């Protein structure tokens, strides 16, 4: 029986990396019925929104999607489609593995970290008041009254909600992932020394959830110290679980450690539903050039195949990607060894696909 999967092609370089990923996943022989949906700036004129209802309807039906990146136009009034998809489908845990690969240039080697980021709340909840507006002034005065602390007049105000419910389910996801994947340790990352109630609640929830996983070591680190430690001794860490904002930043840091956004995959998981996507954005300057690296979305496809219950096919794709990159012959410009020629997005995908099918 074929699996139904929604393929959201995205915009910018999205359609190119989406097609490359489809090529490789299809080469595994796992039967997939692709429901192709478009979202992003390219559909705004037709649908009046970058996220037409039909896209979410399709994912609600198939329960599994893989998506290309989508541009967030600055100052257009549209919030991020990516954030909207995660919130609408309650995809609360964002998984971002960062594993070194031979042949990818990086200052680090042998990095093997897994980032689990809370995906639905924190400073990303979208409750902000613009400086100079009546609402900002009202919010400022209200906060001053409640807290007894002063906020400078004319300030913009943002709200950082952190709940026990969302913290617990994300930390639980991190521990379940650790258990299922033979990982030894989970580190909760926070700034609870300063944000005692918000990050404090995240940490408290993490400590409590950890008690149900006695075989997995648990510890916590303050986020600034964590960044320094990752630069100095990444081998001491394994699975990291973080609130939304720190997770966003630290996962870019760990992507940098394995050679950049071009090779960093991701998956967003809810209860019985998941959307897989690369960490990188839509890189508009490269759109339509068949130039960018498709690895990140292809490796997101590996996460998807595992989620579908096809670990053998997932492993074949993973090994094919590693082999093609290590050989360095059919790789995009950013991966080509110094002085060597490079190939386009689709040609790299074709090289991976032929190893997958072999
Ligand atoms: P970006 O990831 O698009 O680009 C950052 C840098 O990485 C650029 O130099 C780009 O050329 C390079 N890069 C990105 N992907 C690459 C790839 N596959 N191969 C080789 N090089 C690659 O980030 P940005 O410029 O900050 O954002 C562009 C747009 O994408 C923005 O509108 C942003 O909101 C959006 N965005 C979307 C997502 C998503 O869809 N999940 C994530 C991040 C950013």
Q: What is the pLDDT of residues 3-24, one digit of tens each?
A: 999 999 999 999 999 999 999 9
176 is a catalytic site residue: no
Average pLDDT of the residues in 72-87: 81
Q: Does 77 or 265 have the greater pLDDT score? A: 265
pLDDT at position 103 over 70: yes
Alpha-helical regions (H) of the chain: 14-27, 44-47, 53-62, 81-88, 134-147, 164-180, 198-210, 223-232, 244-257, 295-308, 311-327, 345-357
pLDDT score of 74 more than 80? no
Q: Which residues line ligand 1 (CB under 6 A)?
A: 69-72, 82, 261-262, 277, 280-283, 286, 292-293, 296, 334
- For 195, counting Cβ atoms within 10 Å of its Cβ (0-12 exposed, 13-18 middle, 19+ buried), the class is middle
Nearest CA to ligand 1 atom 37: 281
* pTM, entire model: 0.94
Q: What is the pLDDT of residues 217-243, one digit of tens each?
A: 999 999 999 999 999 999 999 999 999
**pLDDT confidence of residue 79:** 76
Whether residue 154 is predicted with pLDDT greater than 80 in this model: the reply is yes
Residue 77 pLDDT > 80: no
Q: Is 160 a catalytic residue?
A: no
Kindly report the protein residue whose alpha carbon is nearest to atom 26 of ligand 1: 281
pLDDT for the residue 339: 83
Please provide the distance, in angstroms rounded to a whole number, between the alpha carbons at the two ends of the chain: 23
**How far does the centroid of ligand 1 lie from the alpha carbon of residue 279, in Å?**
8
Average pLDDT over residues 99-109: 94
Predicted local confidence at residue 189, as pLDDT: 98
What is the share, in percent, of the chain residues with pLDDT greater than 70? Answer: 99
Q: Which CATH architecture has domain 98-121+164-260?
A: 3-Layer(aba) Sandwich (3.40)
What is the rounded average pLDDT of the residues 280-286? 95
- pLDDT over 90 for what percent of the chain? 90
Non-local (6+) Cβ contacts of 175 within 8 A are: 186, 209, 210, 212, 213, 216
HSE-CB for 11 with a 13 A CA cutoff: 17
Instruction: Please tell me the predicted confidence (pLDDT) of residue 142.
Output: 96
Ligand 1 atom nearest the C-alpha of 266 is 41
* Among 35, 239, 255, CA closest to 117: 239
Ligand 1 atom nearest to 81, measured from its CA: 40
Q: For residue range 240-260, what is the model confidence (pLDDT) as tens digits?
A: 999 999 999 999 999 999 998
Distance CA 180, CA 277 (A): 21
User: What is the reported pLDDT for 196?
Assistant: 97
Separation of CA 309 and ligand 1 centre (Å): 30
At 245 the pLDDT is 97
5-24: b (≥16 Cβ within 10 Å) or e: bbbbbbbbbbbbbbbbbbbb
The CATH number given to 1-91+273-358 is 3.40.718.10
Domain ranges in the chain are: 1-91+273-358, 98-121+164-260, 126-161
């Amino acid at each position: 029986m074929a699996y139904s999967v929604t393929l959201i092609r995205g915009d910018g370089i999205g359609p190119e990396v989406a097609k490359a990923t489809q090529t490789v996943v299809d080469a595994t022989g796992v039967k997939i019925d692709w429901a192709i949906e478009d979202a992003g700036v390219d559909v705004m004129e037709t649908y009046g929104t970058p996220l037409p209802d039909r896209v979410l309807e399709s994912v609600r039906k198939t329960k599994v999607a893989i998506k290309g990146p989508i541009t967030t136009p600055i100052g257009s009034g549209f919030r991020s489609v990516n954030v909207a998809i995660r919130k609408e489908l309650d995809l609360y845990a964002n998984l971002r593995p960062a594993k070194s690969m031979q042949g990818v240039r990086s200052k680090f080697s042998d990095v093997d970290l897994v980032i689990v980021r809370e995906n639905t709340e924190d400073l990303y909840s979208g409750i902000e008041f613009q400086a100079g507006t009546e609402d900002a002034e009202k919010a400022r005065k209200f906060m001053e009254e409640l807290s007894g602390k002063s906020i400078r007049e004319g300030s913009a105000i943002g709200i950082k909600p952190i709940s026990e419910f969302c913290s617990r389910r994300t930390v639980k996801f991190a521990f379940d992932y650790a258990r299922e994947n033979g990982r030894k340790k989970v580190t909760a990352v926070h700034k609870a020394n300063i944000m005692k109630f918000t990050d404090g609640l995240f940490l408290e929830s993490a400590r409590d959830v950890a008690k149900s996983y006695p075989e997995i070591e648990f510890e916590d680190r303050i986020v600034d110290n964590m960044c320094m430690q990752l630069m100095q001794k990444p081998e001491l860490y394994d699975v990291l679980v973080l609130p939304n904002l720190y997770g966003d930043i630290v996962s870019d840091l760990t992507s940098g450690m394995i050679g950049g956004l071009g090779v960093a995959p991701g998956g967003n998981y809810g209860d019985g539903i998941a959307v897989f996507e690369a960490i990188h954005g839509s890189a508009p300057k490269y759109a339509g050039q068949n130039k960018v690296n498709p690895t990140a979305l292809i490796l997101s496809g590996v996460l998807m195949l595992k989620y579908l219950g096809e670990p053998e096919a997932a492993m074949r794709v993973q090994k094919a990607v590693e082999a093609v990159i290590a050989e360095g012959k059919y790789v995009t410009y950013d991966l080509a060894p110094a002085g060597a020629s490079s190939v386009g997005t689709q040609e790299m995908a074709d090289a991976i696909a032929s190893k997958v099918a072999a």
